[in-house]
Amino acid sequence: MARITASVFTSHVPAIGAALDLGKTQEPYWQALFAGYEYSKEWMTQNTPDVIFLVFNDHATAFSLDMIPTFAIGTAAQYTPADEGWGPRPVPMVQGHPELAAHIAQSVIQQDFDLTIVNKMDVDHGLTVPLSLMCGQPHAWPCPVIPFAVNVVQYPVPSGQRCFNLGKAIAKAVNSFDADLNVHIWGTGGMSHQLQGPRAGLINKEFDNAFLDRLIADPAGLAQMPHIDYVREAGSEGIELVMWLIARGAMSDISGGAAPQVKHRFYHVPASNTAVGHLILENI
């Protein structure tokens, strides 16, 4: 049977991708940030999964305002890194896992979540930057990836509670796939940031650290936080954090298992306009 063995949580700032691609990781501004992912890259090589289920948000790249799916699962065999205005990032193509993705779509839709099926999609920094942070600059990504896009860009956005419940449904779907696969689930985006309006530049370290504490120890309580609290406390783009609840909801303790082990925790300000947060949790 397939099994979710770990969850990874990380911010996805586009400037991080540019710093990597342009060889700036050792510059004073970036050094401390990339140092925080050294453990993670080592952990990825020691714990390479068979598949990553990567929860991210598209930033009006693949989906414009013409069409806005709340939850979209990638069922394609391959995904091309998107051109976000400066040419595509020089990163590998993303290989998909159509069989597992189709199974998860079937199971999760039958568990009453409406997913959009996506057979063709270019993937933006929301997906490629987390892969770069966790895997460095390889010629090929270490395993297939199932992209799972969540609308946190155009209101109305899904609630934390719905995301958390969806995570549970995804875990159930993975556990019923009839092949011996080691699956990681990643929740990406966040932490506090606001890119526009009078509060542009907002960072809330207290909120972010409390969010990390509660994501680890009180995820069901955290799931009840209404979206307006994200916006007030973490800024308009802080709402990206609801995606972390999908990954957290898929961990075993939410469905009666033991609490996960915290393998790594990192927090750093600033990275562009964003506070960067990062966690690795392992199921026992």
Active-site amino acid positions: 125, 193
Q: Which residues bind ligand DHB (CB under 6 A)?
A: 12-15, 59, 193, 195, 237, 272-274
Candidates 254, 259, 262, 256; CA nearest to 279 is 262
Q: Would you say 36 or 49 has its CB closer to ligand DHB?
A: 36
Burial class of residue 142, CB neighbours in 10 A (0-12, 13-18, 19+):
middle
We find the least distance from the C-beta atom of residue 11 to ligand DHB, in angstroms, to be 7
We find the least distance from the C-beta atom of residue 55 to ligand DHB, in angstroms, to be 14
Bridge partners of 6, per DSSP, are 184, 282
Q: In the structure encoding, which two tokens stand for residue 37, read together?
A: 């992912």
Q: In the structure encoding, which two tokens stand for residue 266, read together?
A: 């990192």
Q: In the structure encoding, which two tokens stand for residue 199, read together?
A: 């509060």
Bridge partners of 78, per DSSP, are 95
Q: Residue 83 gets which letter from DSSP?
A: B
Cβ–Cβ under 8 Å, residues 202 and 193: yes
Q: Would you say 105 or 242 has its CB closer to ligand DHB?
A: 242
In the three-class reduction of DSSP (H, G, I as helix; E, B as strand; rest coil), residue 24 is classed as coil
We find the least distance from the C-beta atom of residue 183 to ligand DHB, in angstroms, to be 25
Q: Would you say 152 or 251 has its CB closer to ligand DHB?
A: 152
We find the least distance from the C-beta atom of residue 103 to ligand DHB, in angstroms, to be 30
Q: Would you say 184 or 193 has its CB closer to ligand DHB?
A: 193
